[in-house]
Structure 1
Amino acid sequence: MRAEVLSFVADGPLPDWDAEEEEIDRRVTQLEAIGKPVTGEEAAALVACFGPDDCYGVAWTLLHLVETGPNPVLTTKPAPDANEWHHRLYDRAVSEGDTPTT
């Protein structure tokens, strides 16, 4: 796994809307440093980095980065209480025909 991905993953999930602007900017910079496409291993690790909300749109950037890897990243339907971004990734893979509905 590339160092840029390891660094992003090590900092954990994206912050929520209450985070300081500097923290959000730092995470954006980390995310932008990750070259595309990501590997399957990197995509799987990045999936754990979705936070509780869209972090001012940063979660969408993360979602699009994850989708540059081999699809589908999530092959089974997430539990009802799973992170909303996991549901989005799964639903998008289903709509693209990358994974069957379960």
Structure 2
Amino acid sequence: MRSEVQAFIADGPLPDWDASSEEIDRRGKQLTAISRPVTPEEARSLVGCFGPDDCYGVAWTLLHLIETGPNPVLTVQPAPDANEWLHLLWARAFNGSLIPGA
């Protein structure tokens, strides 16, 4: 796994809207420093970095980064109480017929 991805993952899930603008900018810059495409291992690890909301759009950047890797990243439908971003990743893969049997 590349060092840029490891650094992003090490900082944990994205913060919520209450985070400082500096923290949100820092996490956004971390994401843009990761070259595309991501590997399957990186994509699976990055899935755990979604926070409770869209983090002023940074979560969309994370979602699009994950989708540069081999799809589908999720092979099992998320539980009903799973993070909304996991449901979105699943729905996008399902709607794109990337999930076998979909």
TM-score higher than 0.5: yes
Structure 2 residues without counterparts, runs of 5 or longer: none
Q: CA RMSD in A?
A: 1.1
Q: Per-residue displacement from partner, 1:18-73 (whole Å, max 9, x unpaired)?
A: 00000001101100000000000000000000000000010000000000000000
Give the TM-score normalised by the residue count of structure 1: 0.97
Aligned residues: 102
SS of the residue corresponding to residue 62 of structure 1 reads: helix
Where does structure 1 differ by over 4 angstroms across 4 or more consecutive aligned residues? Answer: none
Give the TM-score normalised by the residue count of structure 2: 0.97
Rounded to whole Å, the distance in 1 between the matches of 2:98 and 2:42 is 18
In the other structure, the counterpart of 1:6 is 6
Query: Residue 32 and residue 49 in structure 1: after superposition, are their counterparts in 2 closer, same or farther (change >3 A)?
Result: same
The alpha-carbon deviation at position 78 of structure 1 amounts to 0.2
Rounded to whole Å, the distance in 2 between the matches of 1:84 and 1:100 is 22
In the other structure, the counterpart of 1:88 is 88
Rounded to whole Å, the distance in 2 between the matches of 1:100 and 1:50 is 25
Rounded to whole Å, the distance in 2 between the matches of 1:82 and 1:101 is 22
In the other structure, the counterpart of 1:57 is 57
**Is 1:67 the equivalent of 2:64?**
no
Rounded to whole Å, the distance in 2 between the matches of 1:54 and 1:6 is 21
Query: Is 1:77–1:101's contact at 8 Å kept on the other side of the alignment?
Result: no
